[in-house]
Amino acid sequence: MTSLTQVLLVVVIGVLTVLLVVAGIQVVNILREIRWMVAKMNRILDDVADLTHSVTQPVVSLSGLVEGLKGGVRLVAVMRKILGKNEEEEGGEVKERQEEG
């Protein structure tokens, strides 16, 4: 009837089919897990981007404030320098008048 070779061939094909089905199921599970991990990583990166944006905004504003303060200090220094020269010139004129008078 059936030879030993045919029975052995059917058994081997059956075992290989079962193993390939199990391997396919595992591959599908792994791909599903990878998809879940990528989605989670994407959410984390979005949160990090939002966090860095919320941190950089005050730093940029603070930088603008510091630059404004530097400009104000420079303006005060220039005004002092100008007023100092005017006071020296006026002081020199007063001394000359006192010496003349």
Spell out the SS3 assignment of the chain: CCCHHHHHHHHHHHHHHHHHHHHHHHHHHHHHHHHHHHHHHHHHHHHHHHHHHHHHHHHHHHHHHHHHHHHHHHHHHHHHHHHHHHHHHHHHHHHHHHHHC
Q: Note the pLDDT of residue 1.
A: 60
pLDDT tens sequence across 49-79: 999 888 888 888 888 888 888 989 998 888 8
Average pLDDT, the chain: 87
pTM confidence score: 0.51
Instruction: Pick the more confident residue, 1 or 56.
Output: 56
